[in-house]
Amino acid sequence: MESTGDNWMPRTHILVREPDDDGYDLPGWVEVGERVVGLVATGLWAVDGVYDVVDGDRRRDGPNLSPTDPFVDHCGVSLFAVEARVRRALPRTITTLEVGLADLTIAAIRAETISPTRWYRVDHSCASEGVTAYDAAIARTWGCNTCGRDPRTEFTPRFEAHRIGLRIDARIDLDISIAVCPSCHEILHQPLAPTAAELMYGLRPSCPGCGARHADIVTVNHSDAPLPIGVTTSSAPPGEMPDFVCGSCGHEW
């Protein structure tokens, strides 16, 4: 606790975890009754929640974290957007915030949960990207590369280029992009965003055989346009051709 005149205020701490970590490690100096702002060290950094430090299960050692107001959903909140609102950089290491900065930070997180800053104001990774002729040909035939929205409908979406740089090894990075609809593009730039593959396969059914979310669409390619990621062709007669094939176990359905 910190003293502000005659009042005692709970301290607010910043804790940091990696994207693949299940949770936060609480330092011994963090006490029950205090507050934690959780940061995830993604490429652009994200706030994944505000937490109260509470008594833990008696069968476990130490206190636990319990989500508290302002509640952050699974998409997270952009740390850059929070910093723009408080007009100063925030620590990206485990630390304790001074009371004034803590209050400003919580207020900024609350504002972002109500009215998030548009992704392109804080993430410029796709700012210079244009849809290539190759991707445009795929989009005109197959639609959005993630949700598959049909480009031949009356209200065709305006496809945008999303950069999905691929690292072949430590020395080689490939600047590869795909054409996606604006809705999917926004999802792919959420602070805690899925990858393009995670979004695409997450919108498709899970495999009845192994349960994996890896359903490739099976079709007959009547076009000269290249196949997009997640689509495969079949030579089976139309009545015998499956709708999907699992990329993990090969099951067809």
- The residue among 121, 142, 169 that closes a domain is 121
- The residue among 68, 95, 121 that closes a domain is 121
Q: 39-73 pLDDT, tens per residue?
A: 999 988 999 999 999 987 645 567 899 999 999 99
DSSP per residue over the chain, as a string? Answer: -EEETTEEE--EEEEEE-TT-SS-PPPTT--TT-EEEEEE--SS-EEEEEEEEE---TTSSS-EEEE-SSP--TT-EEHHHHHHHHTS---SSSEEE-HHHHHHHHHHHHHHHHSPPPGGGT--TTTT----HHHHHHHHHH--TTT---TTSSS----EEEE--EEEETTEEE--EEEE-HHHHHHHTSTTPPPHHHHHHHTSPPPTTT--S-EEEEE---SSSPPPTTEEE--S-TTT--SEEETTT--B-
My answer on whether 32 and 110 are in the same domain is yes
My answer on whether 24 and 114 are in the same domain is yes
Residue ranges making up the domain that contains 132: 124-202
My answer on whether 72 and 49 are in the same domain is yes
Q: 150-194 pLDDT, tens per residue?
A: 766 666 678 898 988 654 444 444 567 888 999 999 999 999 999
**How many separate domains does the chain show?**
3
My answer on whether 40 and 90 are in the same domain is yes
My answer on whether 153 and 92 are in the same domain is no
pTM of the model: 0.82
